[in-house]
Amino acid sequence: MASPKKAADKTNGSSPPEFTKEQELKALRDMLLIRRFEEKAGQLYGMGAIGGFCHLYIGQEAVVVGMQMALKQGDQVITGYRDHGHMLACGMDANGVMAELTGRRGGYSKGKGGSMHMFSMEKQFYGGHGIVGAQVSLGTGLAFANHYRGNDNVSVAYFGDGAANQGQVYESFNMAELWKLPVIYVIENNRYAMGTAVSRASAQQDFSKRGASFNIPGKQVDGMDVRAVKAAGDEAVAWCRAGKGPFILEMQTYRYRGHSMSDPAKYRTREEVEKVRHDQDPIEQVRNRLLAAKVSEADLKAIDAEVRDIVNASADFAQHDPEPDASELWTDVYR
Amino acid sequence: MPIQVLMPALSPTMEKGNLAKWLKKEGETIKSGDVIAEIETDKATMEVEATDEGTLGKILIPEGTADVAVNTPIATILADGETAADLAKAPAAPAPAVAQEVAESRSPVGEGKPMISAPKAAAAPQAVAEPDPEVPAGTAMVTQTIREALRDAMAEEMRRDADVFVMGEEVAEYQGAYKVTQGLLQEFGPKRVIDTPITEHGFAGVGVGAAMTGLKPIVEFMTFNFAMQAIDQIINSAAKTLYMSGGQMGCSIVFRGPNGAAARVAAQHSQDYASWYSNIPGLKVIAPFSAADYKGLLKAAIRDPNPVIFLENEVLYGHTGEVPKLDDYVIPIGKARIARAGSHVSIISWSNGMTYALKAADELAKDGIEAEVIDLRTLRPMDTETIINSVKKTGRAVTVEEGWAQSGVGAEIAARIMEHAFDYLDAPVARVSGKDVPMPYAANLEKLALPSAAEVVEAAKAVCYR
């Protein structure tokens, strides 16, 4: 019940299109970077180097990595507070993200935003938003801007199964379809809104149908299989770029860690988590396919090592970079 | 080198915990993500997951140990190829200096000590407002309603900048619920004059999102009462993003519409939000009174790179005033205007409060009291200098607002006068405000709930001891 359903059945029972070896390797590398980064962030939180809230993305890596593979330069991404993975997938620098987590001047927001508030105009990443559901209206606004300017960019607004119950989500759905805005709503259904299981919070648990009353097409996707995510992303992107309006993708995924760092996780069993990790881990799936395709252990270890180096360097930077200057207190309130 | 596993902090406030149970034994293989131990905090029992891979080399803190301090080494993990003999090489616990720094950064600001001894940051920068643009002698004046002045301001800015558009309920085909956007659809078309569904929270968010990409939306609320549905997007998204992004991403957007009491529309449609928005750093808040100011300040608001709250007043929409006939009449944000000079008492107001203030000044003059009436026009940033200079001259001050007194703008003005001109005061500052009740419907009660010129006269005489 509580593990991500095998959604592949719903897409005509066929398995997703195969990746090329290059795509598999890229997916593996990008997902590993997120996982190792998040593990390191959890560790730094445990050491007290990161304060406040810290929501880890471990387990959900295939969603953002697969979606990113379907996008082109100029497309925009916006998400909620579980955002480190999205930033890394957009190509933001690990040092800058980690230093923001530790509240240092080299962080993306000069240490003034923290885990939930980072942005990159360069990478078209629009945050990092701490109010559940707010990014859905904002992401619709990004699509509005694309429509207004008449370019062919698409915006991707990520939100969770919890946020999917917020009122402004449906206000946004209505306007997006009414005005045919190029926005992909990616609902990351990780089965729990903080500690509340989907079944205890949602009258309609098929999130791909949440746009039905606005005539927005939706699809359930196996969010643990990066190939399925990419294929669904391609379909949604094509729909949006063709001027047909918004598209909803329900990514069935799973978060291995607690909601935030101080979550005792009493709402689910350890066995449940272990089963998903064992049966459906998005990274292991790719690794196993690569090994079956005769990619050597040594090559995979080299990717591991490269990723660990990036992550360790970011942790080192984030702990040694100075805190923001006291004068920064007063800057950036107004332009 | 073997990796040390440290006692983790499992919540922002945790300093120590009990090591309840080891779930892995020495010599067992550990994968990243494996739960290796359980720790009890004062709030809950939490699991510790490994973040490194290898073999559990040695358990340093046995299960059942209570009050283990955060960052104490609790075990060591051996990497591939390492043996127990490598254990001696494990690094020492982190330098105490690091722990110290962490402990300090976690104590709430100012806890246990007066705020005044908090580490001193440079003082807040003071906004310096520019004077009004000079209107050359001989400039023709047009007599316009405030509604027309607003429409002209928007139309001029939309002609000037293709990134400016207006959205809201009934702004296009209906020509504006209060006819403020009359004619804009005909001139600029439906792409730039956009009727929204009745969906304040949603379209405020859409506007802010569009502004984050560099467009310059004018978001009309049919009234600011309905903007309460959207206030999260206004404050959490529009006002704070520039700061939260370290200056990288701002939001040039105007939220405008009628604010305050209309006539006989009862409590839910008659509220003054001036003090709400003027509380928020990151917003600019404008509430003009004269037709010329409505035009010049709305043009400035549209050009401003920050989110601006532009509070209009329904009662004033039909009032006429003289507006300079200039190609580009822009009034700087943040500058008050002396509407009437005087030397006996300063009356400070804005928006429709000015109606009562000016009427009262006429009355007071009949009794030989010359009031100086200041129209603040902008509430944030507030032109403290103009207020203080006036009070230094008169020694007495009365504030006039339609909103409630508690935590109101008048309370803020009184505090600033006390802070900057205490020694010049000959009497306590008096506040005239809306009464501390929801707005009643009955005509007589509504009148009583609002400020009046008579109340301003009374307050002014009281501070003059007359």
Tens-place pLDDT, residues B235-279:
999 999 999 999 999 999 999 999 999 889 999 999 999 999 999
* Residues of chain B by 3-state class (helix, strand, coil), percent to 5: 35, 25, 45
Q: Name the residues of B annotated as catalytic.
A: 200, 269
pLDDT of res. B82: 76
Among B245, B252, B255, B284, pick the best mutation site for testing chain A contact (most A Cβ within 10 A): B245
pLDDT of res. B356: 98
A277 in reach of chain B (CB within 8 A): yes
Of the listed ranges A187-191, A196-200, B4-8, B296-300, the least confidently predicted one is: B4-8
Residue B236 to residue A131, Cβ atoms within 8 A = yes
Q: Tell me which residue of B358, B365, B345 sits closest to B417, measured CA to CA.
A: B345
Residue of A nearest to B305 (CA): A335
Q: Tell me which residue of B15, B16, B18, B6 sits closest to B102, measured CA to CA.
A: B15
Arithmetic mean of pLDDT, B130-138: 81
pLDDT of res. B125: 73
Strand arrangement of the beta sheet that strand B216-220 belongs to: B193-195, B164-168, B216-220, B253-258, B307-312, B284-286, B378-380
pLDDT of res. B34: 80
Q: How distant is the Cα of A298 from the closest Cα of chain B, in angstroms?
A: 14
Residue of B nearest to A58 (CA): B33
Which DSSP category does B212 fall into? H
Q: How distant is the Cα of A249 from the closest Cα of chain B, in angstroms?
A: 20
| Alpha carbon A70 to chain centroid, angstroms | 14
> Residue B309: is its pLDDT beyond 50?
yes
In A185-244, the residues whose Cβ lies within 8 Å of chain B are none
Tens-place pLDDT, residues B403-417:
999 999 999 999 999
Backbone region of residue B14 per phi and psi (left: phi > 0; alpha: psi in -120 to 50; beta: other values): beta
pLDDT of res. B107: 40
pLDDT of res. B105: 41
> Residue A130: its chain B contacts at CB < 8 A?
236
Tens-place pLDDT, residues B383-407:
999 999 999 999 999 999 999 999 9
Instruction: List chain A residues with pLDDT less than 50.
Output: 1-2, 7-12
Q: How confident is the model at residue B173 (pLDDT cuts 50, 70, 90)?
A: very high
Residue A109 to residue B245, Cβ atoms within 8 A = yes
Residue B1 vs residue A183, higher pLDDT = A183
The Cα B167–Cα B219 span in angstroms is: 5
How many contiguous H segments (helices) and E segments (strands) does chain B have?
13, 22
Arithmetic mean of pLDDT, B30-55: 80
A256 in reach of chain B (CB within 8 A): yes
Which residue in the set A36, A51, A108 is minimally distant from B106, CB to CB? A51
Residue A330 to residue B206, Cβ atoms within 8 A = no
pLDDT of res. B10: 76
The Cα B386–Cα B25 span in angstroms is: 74
Of the listed ranges A252-261, B105-114, B162-171, B344-353, the least confidently predicted one is: B105-114
Q: How confident is the model at residue B89 (pLDDT cuts 50, 70, 90)?
A: low
pLDDT of res. A171: 98
In A71-100, the residues whose Cβ lies within 8 Å of chain B are 76, 78
The Cα B249–Cα B260 span in angstroms is: 32
Q: How confident is the model at residue B103 (pLDDT cuts 50, 70, 90)?
A: very low
Tokens matching residue A165 = 């119950």
The Cα A50–Cα B401 span in angstroms is: 45
Tens-place pLDDT, residues A162-183:
999 999 999 999 999 999 999 9
CA distances from B6 to A103, B69, B377, B424 (A): 22, 10, 58, 62
The Cα A146–Cα A140 span in angstroms is: 10
Q: How confident is the model at residue B12 (pLDDT cuts 50, 70, 90)?
A: low
What ipTM is given for this predicted complex?
A: 0.94
pLDDT of res. B370: 98
pLDDT of res. B120: 62
Residue A148 to residue B214, Cβ atoms within 8 A = no
Residue of A nearest to B99 (CA): A48
Tens-place pLDDT, residues B420-446:
999 999 999 999 999 999 999 999 999
Which residue in the set A51, A111, A262 is minimally distant from B10, CB to CB? A262
Number of Cβ pairs < 8 A linking chain A and chain B: 208
Tokens matching residue A219 = 């699809």
The Cα A122–Cα B412 span in angstroms is: 41
> Residue A107: its chain B contacts at CB < 8 A?
246
Q: How distant is the Cα of B42 from the closest Cα of chain A, in angstroms?
A: 12
Is residue B273 classed as helix, strand or coil in its secondary structure? coil
